[in-house]
Amino acid sequence: MAATRLDQIDRKILAELQADGRMTNVELAKRVGISAPPCLRRVRTLEEAGYIRGYHAKVDARELGFEVQVFAMVGLQSQAEADLSKFEQRCRDWPLVRECHMLNGEVDFILKCVAPDLSTFQNFLTEELTAAENVASVKTSLVIRGAKDEPGVPFDVLEDRLARNA
């Protein structure tokens, strides 16, 4: 794995920034056990190498009036690469679709969507998603409640793994 290119300090940096993306560099340096300048240099390197894709505030959608979250399983008629790409591009253009993943199995894509209310989503569903070219089937499930939401990497698992391989 590419993680081999990283030493323990780099991984600690990633873990800390994943947990708190606004941590100051001095605090980060203190936690990983080096001084501020090399710490900052490492962060920049990790960013440029693509280990860090960006930093984002986690904004509570429900608090902002997006009370509906839906997972949609989408099946297409054609799975030719050109058609897959076309569908993916449409997902990128739909603001209500926040995530789009291509899957194996009977379903081709899973979409995570948000909407201010059910009628807005239903409108999107019938007018846009189901109606879109090449879409064969759509099954949706409303999110009743969220129990865990920590996208990213389980660094404890990673460290266990590296320790075992060492």
Contact (Cβ atoms closer than 8 angstroms) between residue 23 and residue 30: no
- In the complex, the residues that contact a copy of itself under the rule CB under 8 A are 1-3, 6, 11, 14, 17-22, 49-61, 63-67, 69, 71, 88, 91-92, 95-105, 107, 109-110, 112, 114, 116, 141-154, 156-158, 161
Nearer to DNA, 63 or 106 (CB): 63
The helix (H) or strand (E) run that includes residue 76 is: strand 68-76
Smallest distance, a copy of itself to C-beta of residue 38, A: 18
**Taking the complex as a whole, how short is the minimal distance between the CB of residue 40 and DNA, in angstroms?**
5
Rounded to whole angstroms, how far apart are CA atoms 28 and 43? 10
**Cβ closest to a copy of itself, residue 145 vs residue 166:** 145
Q: What's the min distance (Å) between Cβ of 13 and a copy of itself? A: 9
Chosen from DNA, a copy of itself, none, partner binding at 24 (C-beta under 5 to 8 Å by type)? DNA
Between CA 46 and CA 100 the distance in angstroms is: 26
Backbone angles phi, psi at 8, to 5 degrees: -60, -35
> What are the CA-CA distances from residue 114 to residues 62, 97, 139 (Å)?
9, 7, 15
Kindly tell me which of 16 and 128 has the beta carbon lying closer to DNA: 16
SS3 119: helix
Nearer to a copy of itself among residue 10 and residue 131 (C-beta): 10
Nearest to 143 by CA among 71, 95, 74: 71
Q: State the nearest-atom distance from the C-beta of 8 to DNA, in Å.
A: 10
Are 128 and 94 in contact by the 8 Å Cβ rule? The answer is yes
Of 38 and 95, nearer to DNA (C-beta) is: 38
Which residues are near DNA by CB under 7 A? 9, 24-27, 33-38, 40-42
